[in-house]
Copies of this chain bind each other. A is one copy, B any other.
Amino acid sequence: MNKARVESFSDGVFAFAITLLVLGVPIPDLVIVNDQQIRIGLVKSLHQLLPFITSFATIGIIWLNHHAMFHTVARVDHGALILNLLLLLVVSFIPFPTAVLGRYGALPFSAFFYGCVLTALGTTYSLLSFYILKSGLRREETPNGSSWDRLRNALGAAIYPIATVLSLRHPRVGVTIYFLLAAFYLLPARSFAINRAV
């Protein structure tokens, strides 16, 4: 199995899923069409931009990490292909909870559901990276991440489910944490080296 074509197919799904997110920003549905109504409608739509930006950043991060991960990979076997498809399944599903949040705002259950999908995203990504590490698919010279890297990844893995459960009580707080986590992982410098480590 050609590693380059797995990467290009994955890139395609990442790029399309990230671009489909915009369909979840609801176009104002006006009964009376005038400037005041469009202003009210657009301001209301823009209130819903946070999930759009959060999903965009989250898919962007997973894409960056996916690139870095495959950079260390020497060959791809069937198990990695299946786990990669599982990751892409979750990635391609993200526009759905994003659109629900965008349409109805941060209600407890819609925020909880969004958090479940983000947690599933992190889990399938971890499964894939763990499999690649354990199956000896990486190139020999690839360094392991530092202990600081692992601490940070573990923190991320723990905060998503916590924020998901928290959303059932405080949906706005939950959505804000999802956004802050995405922003945190986008921070430059050392953070990237950490992400690069499986």
Contacts and interface: CB of A to CB of B under 8 A. Distances in A.
Contact of A21 (B14, B60, B92, B188): B92
A11 B100 CA distance: 28
Interface in A90-127: 92-93, 95-96, 99-100, 103-105, 107-110, 113
Contact of A2 (B5, B56, B67, B96): B67
Interface in A1-22: 1-2, 5, 7-9, 11-22
Contacts of A198: none
Contacts of A20: 16, 19-20, 22-23
Contacts of A28: 100, 104
A96 B70 CA distance: 33
Interface residues of A, number: 65
Number of copies: 4
A63 interface: yes
A80 B79 CA distance: 30
B113 A63 contact: no
Interface of A: 1-2, 5, 7-9, 11-23, 25, 27-28, 30, 33-35, 38-39, 42, 45, 52-53, 56-57, 60, 63-64, 67-68, 71, 78-79, 81-82, 85, 88-89, 92-93, 95-96, 99-100, 103-105, 107-110, 113, 186, 188-189, 192
18 contacts: A1-B67, A2-B67, A12-B12, A12-B16, A15-B16, A16-B16, A16-B20, A17-B22, A19-B20, A19-B92, A33-B107, A39-B109, A42-B100, A45-B96, A53-B89, A56-B85, A78-B188, A82-B186
